[in-house]
Chain A
Amino acid sequence: MSDSTLHGHNRPIPEVSKADIDRGDRLHVGREVVVDRYTKWARINHWITAVSLILLALSGLALFHPSLFWLTALFGGGQMTRMLHPWFGVVLFFSFFGLFIRFWRLNLPKREDVQWASQIGDVLSNQEEKLPEVGKYNAGQKAVFWSMSVLIMVLIASGLGIWEEYFSQYLTVEQLRVAMLIHSIAAVVIICVWIIHVYAAFWVEGTLRAMTRGNVSGGWAWRHHRKWLRALATYGKRDDQTDRKN
């Protein structure tokens, strides 16, 4: 009795390994299956990053388009907005660095990501049974992760250059103009990535709970990250028993 015969799935059951699991991932089996997805510190780290990104977006948009200058009122006026924005960026940079260290390994591209991405139509129409099984992150999540990583590097590098208070004097005016243009374009892109990220968390029901309570339901893991669930079921949490199966 295999999964594919029992449930009519004609997609192959992937090989799983212990490497498909993060350190804090746990399986709790009772009347309901609950899967720990993010540790307390990962969640704290995430929300510091989230808050700083939102503050950055609001303060940055205020200086990006005149129709949004009113947003400076949130920060205590134009001068305060100008002063705070780079500091929010510093917080974001270090906070995201923490997330990067936590998440980069399981965000490395895998073979199934190509297949998954090529069937983006099935993804968008919620037909996940047609998609290959994916691990802790699907190709879309990985795209968000790497986009954020690259864009934050671009934004911090260009942002430091145009930080008038401390660093602008080390650049020529022409370099400042290049940095300004790059910074504003990268900011537009990262806000779009952020919109996709937040939207996807809402669209895929039961996702937000992973970043609030830290866990997801077994059904959620089965539906969206089956390879990850299989790895957990195979290797679980208890390191002393990992050799028993397989």
Chain B
Amino acid sequence: MTINVNPPVAPDTTMQMGPQDYIRRSASSVPQPARQLEPVAKLIDVSKCIGCKACQSACLEWNDLREEVGINVGVYDNPHDLTPNTFTLMRFTEWVNPETDNLEWLIRKDGCMHCADPGCLKACPAPGAIVQYSNGVVDFVKENCIGCGYCVKGCPFDIPRISKVDNRSYKCTLCSDRIAVGQGPACAKACPTKAIVFGTKEEMKAHAAERIEDLKSRGYDNAGLYDPPGVGGTHVMYVLHHADKPSIYAGLPDNPRISPLVEAWKGVTKYAGLAVMGMAAAASVFHIAIAGRNRVTVEDDEEARRLTGTAPGAAPLDPDKEPLS
């Protein structure tokens, strides 16, 4: 078991990742990568989280971001939502378990789930603004981002946020810059209870299985892993004590998938739309070839002259502009 909470400082070259490892690139295609990186995952064990927000701090620290000082409205969530600076956010839910009548404090670390089938990437119109590596990391390439907000519509988890400062989209990178040199994400490193762990996806699933077994032995019969198949699985997974109802965890989607509206927009509309416009243009060319132009005849001009010759309201043409006979 190599849960990479505190990895060696020496770079682990096996994990180095770069553009050669892209398996998807928004609004463009990439060649089949020569190698397949080992899929990675971050596992967030909600049952072990104490809500200290060390992960939030570590995220700001590593990414060199600052959040504005906000206003307390009586909840622990701070800030109140994800922002272009807050890539990860602890969401606190006070939930009364109807079976036990116990108050349960559910704390979920929200952020990008790094979907295997990323809706943001599907929606993105800017070539190369969103990329997916063969190890599963979905990353935004800020230089290519145009700030349109299509990724917001594409995301099944409501994660990306557009900066009002530079009009670019931001979200958790899974610390791709740390992973590339063999380090785990900053949040995982900072977590004091090891509620956040990072490693290969296989390792994380195995670790989750142990945790779930433990939770079940302690009465959480519905404990389980959140790795939603609707988006092809995710590279950020949760261990939930109530995996049968993810939505109690501050609205974690029960069965996330790319919205059919987004599929229609980025699927049939995109292709049929171009085809229909092309057909309209082609029909024009076809029609002019068959029917020819609709021309005014000499007779039409004569009729007009006859009809209007006696018209009472006709203003005479400016004699200076009369054509010479």
Residues of B within 8 A of A203 (CB): 284, 287-288, 291, 293-294
- The contact string, 1 if C-beta is below 8 Å from chain A, for chain B 224-263, is 0000000000000000000000000000000000010110
**Would you list which residues of chain B between 260 and 283 have a CB under 8 Å from chain A?**
261-262, 264-265, 269-270, 272-274, 276-277, 280-281
Residues of A within 8 A of B322 (CB): 30-31
Contact of A81 among B144, B146, B264, B294 (CB under 8 A): B146
* A126-B291 CB under 8 A given contacts A82-B148, A218-B304: yes
- Which residue of chain A has its CB nearest to the CB of B262? A177
**Would you list which residues of chain B between 271 and 325 have a CB under 8 Å from chain A?**
272-274, 276-277, 280-281, 284, 287-288, 291-298, 300-305, 307-309, 311-317, 319, 322-323, 325
Contact of A66 among B27, B149, B303, B309 (CB under 8 A): B27
Docked Cα-Cα span, A110 to B136, in Å, equals 62
- The contact string, 1 if C-beta is below 8 Å from chain B, for chain A 156-191, is 000000101100100001101110110011011001
Docked Cα-Cα span, A143 to B300, in Å, equals 26
Report the number of A-B residue pairs with Cβ-Cβ less than 8 Å: 220
Q: Are A232 and B313 interface neighbours, CB within 8 A?
A: yes
Residues of A within 8 A of B162 (CB): 164, 168
Q: Are A188 and B273 interface neighbours, CB within 8 A?
A: yes
Q: Mark the stretch among B5-13, B47-55, B150-158 that contacts chain A.
A: B150-158
B125 within 8 A of A: yes
Q: Mark the stretch among A44-52, A92-100, A219-227 that contacts chain B.
A: A219-227
* A219-B300 CB under 8 A given contacts A180-B265, A185-B269, A233-B311: yes
Q: Are A78 and B126 interface neighbours, CB within 8 A?
A: yes
Contact of B147 among A79, A222, A236 (CB under 8 A): A79
* A28-B317 CB under 8 A given contacts A180-B261, A195-B284: yes
Docked Cα-Cα span, A27 to B164, in Å, equals 57
Residues of A within 8 A of B125 (CB): 62-64, 66, 69
Q: Are B152 and A173 interface neighbours, CB within 8 A?
A: yes
Closest Cβ of chain A to B307, distance in Å, is 5
A15 within 8 A of B: no
Closest 8 CB pairs of A and B: A236-B313, A218-B304, A30-B317, A78-B146, A219-B301, A219-B300, A164-B149, A66-B27
